[in-house]
Amino acid sequence: MSKINCFIPKSSTVFEYIQTMEITSIPLLNEEDYSYIYSFFQDADTDNETSLNKRRKLDEFDEESNSLDEILNNIGVLDDHETPTSKLGTPTSKFEMPNWDFENPASEMADWEQGRVRKTRNSTPEASNGTAEDGGRGGGGPQRRLWVKERSKGWWKYHNSDQCPDDEFRKAFRMSKSTFNMICDELDSAITKKDTMLRMAIPVRQRVAVCIYRLATGDPLRSVSTLFGLGISTCHKLVLEVCSAIRTVLMPKFLQWPDEKRVNEIKTEFRSISGIPDVCGSIYTTHISIIAPKTNPEAYFNKKHTDRNQKPSYSTTVQGLVDPRGVFTDICIGYPGSMSDEKILEKSALSQRSNMGMLKNTWVVGGSGYPLKDWILVPYTHQNLTWSQHSFNQRVGELTNVGKEAFMRLKGRWGCLKKRSEVKLQELPMVLGACCVLHNICEMNNEEMDVELRFELYDDEMVLGEGSGDISVNSLQARDSIAHNLLHGGQ
């Protein structure tokens, strides 16, 4: 194909035009063909003049109407029920815009990402009709359309109603309605959210219920989402927010070191159980299974759980001191599962209290995994025990069972602790602390735990030998004296 220059001056001749053509294999034209081509380009020149005249007219029109862009922008501002007006504010018919359909790709993309079911803030017919003054938008201003996925809330509405029996409510949330209401009242100011123009805030009771149900059952977030009619990510966020509020608001009230009056009451109650005087608490340490962390996983490797389960196991620890009712008075959470009970005790706040003199003239009773100290009583571990030593071990065992049974109820009541936790390692102490606080609230309110929730607690403690640590002579003599008095009816 030959190429032809796009513009030919009027003064040019056919021969000049032919000279501008590229050389091709097409044969030369005769005079009739030349005349035909010359008349063709004359017509083209005429068309060019016509198009130029039209452009001049359009340019003149643009100057009069402040450019076409301004007109389009003005049309974009107009509502669907408004008509173009002149500068004086009266309707004009001199210029009618064509029925152009302007698309908004950004709006369509947002609608596609947001939604499945479309909702408006004003759903009543009166609100949707509008008036001439507000441009037909409704009395409350412009409507905002949202895309929200409808979810069923029937399960939660039933359990939150008076129709749900207290026994059924307790089975789902591990506590009575009265205890649940008290927790909601305590946390109201900390977790209440305000309604926004986009959506209504989730009520406080529903927020607390999501957290407690998740901790109580350990069900997957997908199941919790279905029961409460909320998104999966929303449920996960609510669990962390409520656990944080429990730690901030409820822990100072329901998990605290007892005052002097309460310490004396605890000593009296423990003595009535075992006959051992001046016992202020029973200590125990349990392990919570976790997913292997990405950083320093060997520190959380639990060898004994691995040997028993025949697969790699990782854990974190919870050390707790309880009173005779099984209420926690001190907890230490978050140390790696590879650490022994003795090492965890050394790093805990309980040891710091002892160093500050807060445990003077008192005893803490623990199992054979703890060292014998001036303030810790542990059983004899050597062979060939005397009668007094054997009797002492039985009495100490009764007190250590108080702590162990408290942890059994803790894990039995809050099922999330029996499974491998999926919570991030940095957030796990907050969740475990919330479980301990909720355990205390249930114990203080005499909330009975169902029999089917009880289970055997497997925590393999490392038995420490008599010469494994620095044991003072005073602690050895004090233990022997207590053992002798227990057998022979002393104090």
DSSP secondary structure, 410-456, as one string: HHHHSGGGTSPB-S-TTTHHHHHHHHHHHHHHHHHTT-PPPGGG---
Q: Which of 180, 227, 230, 224 is nearest to 200 (CA)?
A: 230
pLDDT of residue 137: 45
Is residue 329 helix, strand or coil?
strand
**Kind and range of the H or E run holding 161:** none
pLDDT of residue 73: 52
Domain boundaries, the chain: 14-71, 154-253, 258-487
Query: What number is the average pLDDT over the span 308-323?
Result: 93
Q: What is the residue-averaged pLDDT of the chain?
A: 78
pLDDT of residue 123: 43
Name which of 91-100, 437-446, 468-477 the model is least confident about.
91-100
pLDDT category of residue 55 using cuts at 50, 70 and 90? low
pLDDT of residue 389: 94
pLDDT of residue 308: 84
What distance, in Å, lies between the first and last C-alpha atoms of the chain?
A: 121
pLDDT category of residue 36 using cuts at 50, 70 and 90? very low
Contacts of 405 (CB under 8 A, 6+ apart): 326
Name which of 92-101, 189-198, 287-296 the model is least confident about.
92-101
Are the beta carbons of 306 and 458 closer than 8 angstroms?
no
- Give the strands of the sheet with 376-377, arranged side by side: 328-336, 314-322, 279-290, 363-365, 376-377
More confident residue, 67 or 185: 185
Question: Does pTM surpass 0.75?
Answer: no
In order of 3, 286, 364, 428, 434, the CA distances from 315 in angstroms are 81, 10, 25, 11, 18
pLDDT of residue 367: 93
For the cut 90, the answer to whether the pLDDT of residue 139 exceeds it is: no
Name which of 52-66, 242-256, 308-322 the model is least confident about.
52-66
More confident residue, 456 or 276: 276
Are the beta carbons of 56 and 26 closer than 8 angstroms?
no
Each residue's pLDDT tens digit, 372-429 = 999 999 999 988 999 999 999 999 999 999 999 999 999 999 999 999 998 999 999 9
Name which of 47-61, 168-182, 273-287, 350-364 the model is least confident about.
47-61
Give percent helix, percent strand, percent coil of the chain, each to the nearest 5: 50, 10, 40
In order of 139, 160, 192, 474, the CA distances from 133 in angstroms are 9, 44, 38, 92
pLDDT of residue 161: 94
pLDDT category of residue 255 using cuts at 50, 70 and 90? very high
Alpha-carbon gap, residue 161 to 164, rounded angstroms:
6
pLDDT of residue 188: 96
